[in-house]
Amino acid sequence: MATLDLTGVSVRPSQVWGGVRLVPLVRDEPIRTLRLHAEIYGDSLGIVEVDRRTSYMSYIPHGFVATWSDDDTPAAAYGTEIKETGTSPSACIPLHFHRKMARRADKNRLRFLPMHLAVEGYLALHFGGPTLVWEEWSQRAIRNGLSPRAEQAYVGAAVAGLGDALRIFEIHPGQCGVLLYVADTLAAAFVVPHPDDYRALHPTLIQDLYGDLVYQYATYATPVPQFRVQLNETHVQTLADLRAAAARQQLAWPQFHSSTMASGLLDATYDMRRVYRMGDYTLTRFLPGFQLKQENHIGELITDRHGRTAYLKTFRLSENQIRRGHLLTQLAGHDWHLPSTAESLGLTEAQLGLRIESAGFGSLLREDVLARYRASQRKPR
C-alpha cells in the first residue's frame, strides 16, 4: 500500500463555472524526458484483448459491442432489428481492436488506453470468484467467477457544465495538470509531465470517463462560491506590505486545498500494481481500500525512479461501486466463507447473502440458498 506523491506539483487559484471548479496544477520544473500525446480513435467502439481468454469491451471512452458488418470489418449495430438470414444490419459503426491496455509501439514508445487501465483493474477485482468450493456458491460461480463484469460510466460531454468550463477557462502559464471538482466534490485528477502535453491533452477531458456520482452532482448542483482573496487593509501601508500580504495568500490557498479539498485523494493509501516498466519510469494502476462512506478513487500513474508522479489520471467511484469493491474484498479476505465474512461485518449470514444479491452478485449463490435467506428475513405478519 502506498500514497500518491505529488512532490514538485503545486496548485494555483481555482476557476469556477456554475457547479464546476477547475484547480490548475503547475510543476516547479517540467519533466522533459517523458512526453505524452494523444492518439485519436474517433467515435468508434473498441475491444481490448486482455489475454487469449479475456477481452475488455468498451466504448473508447465507453460502450458495448453487438455484431459484425458484411465486409469482415468489425462494427457495432445500433439498436435491435429484424433481418433475413445472411443479410447485414442496416446501421452500424466501425470498431477498433486494441491488443493490450498497454502495448509497446517501438523501442521508446508505449501506447496505453488512458483510464481504461484503471477501470479494467477494478473490473478484475477478485474476478476468479470463490477460491474454495463452499456449498453456498452456485456452479456458475465456481466455473466462471464474476464473468461477465460490467460497470456504468459517463462520458465527459454528458456531465452538465463541464464542456463549457473546459472551453471558457484559461490554461494557466506552466500548467501541467488539473483537479476537477463538481459541487466542490473531487471528481478527477489529471497530471502530465510537461505544459505542452497539457495544452495538447486539455480537450480530452471532455472525452474522459466520469462516475455516476459526478454525473448526478453536476445535474443537480447549485453554483459553487468563488474563493476570493480578502486582505486586511489595516496591515497594508506600503507596496512592500501589499506584496507580503499577497505572498501569504498564495501560500494559504495551496495549504487549504491540500489539507481540505483534496485530502480524500492525497491522504488515502492505495494498492499499487505495476503494468509496465519503461526506462526510469513505471506505469502503474491502483485501487483504493474501499472504505465505506468515504472518497474512493481508482487510477493510473507513471512515476520516476524516486516514486514521484509524472502522469496521473483518476476516476471517482460511486457509492454502489465502493460497496461492491468492499464486499468482494471482505469475501476474498475470508476465503469466500460466508459465516466468517458475515461475522467480521457484524451481519447474519442471511443479511450478507441478501447484500450480495443487492450488489448484483446474486447469481453467484445457489437459488435455494438465496430463497432460504429471503425467508429468514421476512417479518411475521
pLDDT single digits (tens) 12-70: 888 899 999 999 999 989 988 887 766 554 554 444 555 555 555 554 542 222 122 23
Q: Rounded to the nearest 5 degrees, what angle is found at the Cα of 49, between the Cα atoms of 48 and 54?
A: 120
Antiparallel, parallel or unpaired: β 15-17 and 55-59: unpaired
pLDDT of residue 77: 37
Q: What is the mean pLDDT of the chain?
A: 79
Say how many C-beta atoms besides its own lie within 10 A of residue 100's C-beta. 16
**What would the grid cell of residue 93 be?**
459503426
Strand order in the sheet with 55-59: 55-59, 45-49, 92-98, 75-77
Q: Quote the CA–CA distance of 218 and 334 in Å, as a whole number.
A: 38
Q: Quote the CA–CA distance of 13 and 22 in Å, as a whole number.
A: 9
- Reference 197, options 174, 178, 176; nearest CA is 176
Flag whether pLDDT at 88 surpasses 70: no
Distance of CA 373 to the CA centre of its chain: 34
pLDDT of residue 295: 94
Burial (Cβ within 10 Å: 0-12, 13-18, ≥19) of residue 239:
exposed
**Per-residue confidence band for 98, with pLDDT thresholds at 50, 70 and 90:** very low
Helix, strand, or coil (residue 24): strand
pLDDT of residue 197: 85
Higher pLDDT, 379 or 296: 296
pLDDT of residue 97: 46
Helix, strand, or coil (residue 124): coil
Flag whether pLDDT at 314 surpasses 80: yes
> Could you read off the pLDDT of 184-202 as tens digits, one per residue?
999 999 998 889 889 988 9
Helix, strand, or coil (residue 105): strand
Domain ranges of the chain: 1-76+93-134+146-319, 321-377
Range of weakest confidence among 19-23, 35-39, 237-241, 273-277:
35-39
Task: Report yes or no: 341 and 136 within 8 Å, Cβ to Cβ.
Answer: no
Say how many C-beta atoms besides its own lie within 10 A of residue 292's C-beta. 11
Higher pLDDT, 220 or 69: 220
Q: Quote the CA–CA distance of 109 and 215 in Å, as a whole number.
A: 34
pLDDT of residue 108: 64
Highest-pLDDT range among 73-82, 218-227, 329-338: 329-338
